[in-house]
Chains A and B, each alone.
Chain A
Amino acid sequence: MSRPLTLALSKGRILDETLPLLAAAGVVPAEDPRASRRLIIEDMAGECRFVIIRAADVPTYVAYGAADLGIAGRDVLMEHGGAGLYEPLDLGIARCRMVVAATVPVPAPRRRLRVATKYPAITYRHYAARSEQVEIIKLYGSMELAPLVGLADRIVDLVDTGRTLRANGLEAIEPVAEISARLVVNRAAMKIRHAAIRTLLIRLQAQVAEAGA
């Protein structure tokens, strides 16, 4: 059973921060996925291969078993439901916060609160947990604009440094979740490829512990 493990990665911050971690764990892609246009890249040792996909697609690839493992932000897992996936390891990378933000001073809502977000499921759960009924507007980008032009009263979005919020006169008013990237594993693969996955998991765990120390 020497088929390589397939690992799903997404371009951007997760990839930038994952590659050093993987390299320290002994997994090095044969070519730089950030520079390559290829969607499947083998690793040097022939133990792994990488598929490079959109962040939001990682859970789907792994749930279907098209990839044995993947690295996905907790925001994506919470939004799309990590159903059918194992999430055994938080890599502690690509850290940010998901928050509720509003224009300052925070205007008192005159009606049912309107919230613009890329994450309708998380937003729904956040407000439902406080028994608050809100109107959710799904947007694909530039969330900060919505309160400025009267489209929404609040936004739920990821914040790293908070510069974009401040530049638009917004402020984080409530935390929603701490976000970082997690290793996810297909349930069948965890059983069928247990030894190989376990080895990789332990090596990554050691790296994460070292980075955290």
Chain B
Amino acid sequence: MATPHEDWMLPAGVADVLPPEAEALERLRGTLLALYRSWGYQLVITPMVEYLETLLTGVGQDLDLQTFKLTDQLNGRLMGVRADMTPQVARIDAHHLHGEAVRRLCYVGTVLHTRPDAFGGSRCPLQMGAELYGHGGCESDLEVLELMLESLRVAGVVDVHLALGHSGILRATLDAAGIPPPVRPLLLDILQRKASPDLASFLSAHAVSAEGGGLLRALLELHGEPDVLPLAAEQLAEMPAAAGPLQELRWLVAQLRERWPAVALHVDLAETRGYGYHGGLVFAAFQHGQGREIARGGRYRMGGLQQARPATGFTADIKTLLLASEPRVPAPAPHTVLAPATQDAALRDYVERLRREGHCVVTALPGAASPPAAAIIEPDGQGGWHMRHCEDEKE
């Protein structure tokens, strides 16, 4: 039995956003959407729930576990509450919007996770992102990467570190080392934890060849400033399949260094995030003081969709961005004007005009304490109304 006090508790990982944070969050949302519009990204609004078959097509088990499921009482089919909007947007591109043209879409909305995120414990991030479909080259990777950096900039997030990886290199290494698919998840887990002690025992337990082992050990150490790229080209020279991805990374690094000199770059060739889902470049933004990434993205191909096209995009939680942003000058509180509760046509017209002009006009309800106001509406002595500024009553 919940005590009366507990009745008011929200579920774990679910929170209200109160003034003035709600206002700041909404403003940031508007700023970001305006940014995407100016880059040619069209807004789509995806449903809160859909059938599991479409919601979880071609996505990993992690997302399946993060998805709340419920039964559609109309036909008994299982529905999922969206835990990630990216697959929904990919579905829209593949099934609703036709044509082979390059398409740029953006989205924003609350998603729901079954388990609280280990950091901060939120189960309902406000997810925002942009996706570019129908282009397979690294120019589109650069475009979404720059749009992510620009999003962080307009959100006031400074001191950004950008980590780059490429699942093509990882895949080429696993292939070259002859790692059979059934044991790949085990190896990916080891690589994800950069657990060199476990890699050593894996290599001997699965009789990986000396050359294969050498490649995997090299991969595990290939992270750091972008000068690991020439080193990688040397150490992975035996693998022709890695040359293209390495070339792409070098090109991106050169472009980013020129256009975003303030952003610190980091390359990690053993990054396994989205190995099954991302088919190329992966990237993530980090910031001092935040224990993990604040935005991430990459190239992917949604399995299972009939008309899946090459896709690249990024995503972030706007609530996280707001926390990571510099404490900026708060937006000026709206200029509150207090109106008397008098029923008068001229007063009504005057109030309406002020509100159209952008003033916040609040009626002083009889018997209630008046809120602090910057100005008061008074009779002007000639049958009309005017505004008197309260100089000394400023907050």
- Tell me whether A and B are bound partners: yes
List residues of chain A with CB under 8 Å of any chain B CB: 63-66, 82-90, 182, 185-192, 194-195, 198
Main secondary structure of the interface of A (DSSP, over half): mixed
B291 near A192: Cβ-Cβ < 8 Å: no
B286 near A90: Cβ-Cβ < 8 Å: no
The 7 closest A-B pairs by CB, nearest first: A65-B291, A90-B197, A86-B194, A87-B195, A191-B266, A188-B286, A64-B291
Q: Among residues 283 to 300 in chain B, which have CB atoms less than 8 Å away from a CB atom of chain A?
A: 286-293
Question: CA separation between A154 and B97, bound complex, in Å?
Answer: 61
Question: CA separation between A194 and B224, bound complex, in Å?
Answer: 6
For A87, list chain B residues within 8 Å (CB).
193-195, 197-198
B196 located at the interface, meaning its Cβ lies under 8 Å from any Cβ of chain A in the complex: yes
- Contact A89 B161, CB 8 Å, known A188-B293, A194-B224: no
Question: What 0/1 pattern do residues 195 to 234 of B give for CB contact below 8 A with A?
Answer: 1111000000000000000000000000111000000000
B224 near A86: Cβ-Cβ < 8 Å: no
- Least CB distance from A98 to B in Å reads 15
Question: CA separation between A83 and B62, bound complex, in Å?
Answer: 13
For B287, list chain A residues within 8 Å (CB).
188, 192
- Least CB distance from A72 to B in Å reads 12
B118 located at the interface, meaning its Cβ lies under 8 Å from any Cβ of chain A in the complex: yes
B163 located at the interface, meaning its Cβ lies under 8 Å from any Cβ of chain A in the complex: yes
For B290, list chain A residues within 8 Å (CB).
65, 188
Question: CA separation between A107 and B323, bound complex, in Å?
Answer: 58
With A84-B292, A192-B288 known, 16 other A-B pairs at CB within 8 A are A63-B118, A65-B289, A65-B292, A82-B195, A86-B194, A86-B195, A87-B197, A87-B198, A88-B194, A187-B292, A188-B291, A191-B268, A191-B286, A192-B161, A192-B266, A195-B225
Question: CA separation between A164 and B359, bound complex, in Å?
Answer: 78
B8 located at the interface, meaning its Cβ lies under 8 Å from any Cβ of chain A in the complex: no
Question: CA separation between A144 and B290, bound complex, in Å?
Answer: 42
B292 near A191: Cβ-Cβ < 8 Å: no
Nearest residue (CB) in A for B196 is A88
A82 near B193: Cβ-Cβ < 8 Å: yes
